[in-house]
Homo-oligomer: A and B are copies of this chain.
Amino acid sequence: MGNHYDKQKKPTHVLTVENWENDEIYALLERAQSFQTSSRSFIHEQLFAANLFFEPSTRTKISFEAAERKLGLQVLPFEANTSSIKKGETLYDTVKTLESIGVDVVVIRHSQERYFDELMDAIHIPIINGGDGCGHHPTQSFLDLLTIQQEFQTFEDVNIVIAGDISHSRVARSNIYLLERLGAKVYVAGPKEWMSEEWMARYVTMDEAVEIADVMMMLRIQHERHAVKMVAGPAEYHETYGLTVEREKRMKPTSIIMHPAPINRGVEIASELVECERSRIFKQMTNGVYVRMAVLEYVLERR
């Protein structure tokens, strides 16, 4: 604890996904899948984790916490709103403090994009990015991949439509990049105001989307993260860009619905569809724990 890490050896961080090779990704997904049947891991000493969430979260924070406990880690509670950040302490000094106190791995969510740039070379313990502004959210990307792989056993030629607020999503850009590299065909749908030029070649309407998609990957409207006036009222948005009860009926028999949650019921997706037969929304959450176990193990075994 604390003093046991090797200051000469650089820690393995997981900050973004773009730098992961395909075979590394497949290995990670395989390890995650194995946790579905057994939590046994290589960790046998007392190790400490801390989860620094500077933005509200239920799912990701508690999912990391469950993953940590299942691996046998001790979790030191950290509440941003009662921490010394209140006294003006920098993020760097806070993380360095945790390192000094003996924390072995930190998970950080922070509203500032690429908050980790100032940390990655100076901190001697692994950092797992739990979400940076509109930037990245690697464990969410991995759990999305695992959910698709469980369904189709491959990414080759799977048609995936990512629908909604792509420009403010932490995972949309990473997922487009990764999924295409793994062989999937990716489309985008949603308000054109939320698309950048480069994505327009993949653009389909929602009515086209539901007919071609093997996977309808709905995104959350990030009310809290952008000031952009919503392109329409909730009901009108649902009608034009949402996954309505009517549209779901036109989906292929084997296609599935995904959503990272929390869900705005009746906006991006009809409330009735949240737990329908083809929904994998809660399955994604279950997979999230396995993926996070695999990522935690990955960085800890490389200490």
Within 8 A of B (CB), among A108-161: none
Question: Given the known A-B contacts A3-B36, A3-B286, A63-B101, are A56 and B83 also in contact in the complex, defined by CB atoms under 8 Å?
Answer: yes
A79 near B78: Cβ-Cβ < 8 Å:
no
In Å, the complex CA distance between A184 and B70 comes to 47
Question: Given the known A-B contacts A87-B223, A263-B89, are A78 and B101 also in contact in the complex, defined by CB atoms under 8 Å?
Answer: no
Cβ of A102 under 8 Å from chain B: yes
In Å, the complex CA distance between A262 and B62 comes to 28
Question: Given the known A-B contacts A65-B76, A77-B77, are A58 and B85 also in contact in the complex, defined by CB atoms under 8 Å?
Answer: yes
A79 near B79: Cβ-Cβ < 8 Å:
yes
Binds B, one of A14-22, A23-31, A45-53, A239-247: A45-53
Copies of this protein chain in the complex: 3
Cβ of A59 under 8 Å from chain B: yes
Question: Given the known A-B contacts A59-B101, A62-B101, A262-B88, are A79 and B76 also in contact in the complex, defined by CB atoms under 8 Å?
Answer: no
Cβ of A86 under 8 Å from chain B: yes
A100 near B264: Cβ-Cβ < 8 Å:
no
Rounded to whole Å, the gap between the CB of A118 and the closest CB of chain B is: 12
Contact flags A74-113 to B (C-beta < 8 A → 1, else 0): 1011111111111111100110111111110000000000
In Å, the complex CA distance between A85 and B262 comes to 9
Give the residues in chain B near A261, CB-CB below 8 Å: 84, 89, 93, 97
Count of interface residues, chain A, beta-carbon cutoff 8 Å: 61
In the complex, the chain B residue whose C-beta lies closest to that of A222 is B87
Give the residues in chain B near A36, CB-CB below 8 Å: 3
Question: Given the known A-B contacts A97-B261, A101-B59, A289-B102, are A65 and B87 also in contact in the complex, defined by CB atoms under 8 Å?
Answer: no
Give the residues in chain B near A79, CB-CB below 8 Å: 79, 82
Contact flags A58-72 to B (C-beta < 8 A → 1, else 0): 110111011001100
Give the residues in chain B near A102, CB-CB below 8 Å: 66, 70, 286, 289
Cβ of A265 under 8 Å from chain B: yes
Give the residues in chain B near A62, CB-CB below 8 Å: 50, 76-78, 97-98, 101
20 new A-B contacts, CB < 8 A, other than A56-B86, A79-B79, are A50-B62, A57-B83, A59-B101, A62-B101, A63-B101, A66-B76, A79-B82, A80-B82, A84-B262, A87-B262, A88-B223, A89-B262, A93-B263, A93-B265, A93-B274, A100-B282, A100-B286, A101-B288, A101-B289, A102-B289
16 A–B contacts, CB within 8 A, in A order: A1-B39, A3-B36, A46-B69, A56-B83, A58-B89, A58-B94, A59-B84, A62-B78, A66-B103, A69-B74, A84-B261, A96-B282, A99-B282, A100-B286, A101-B289, A102-B289
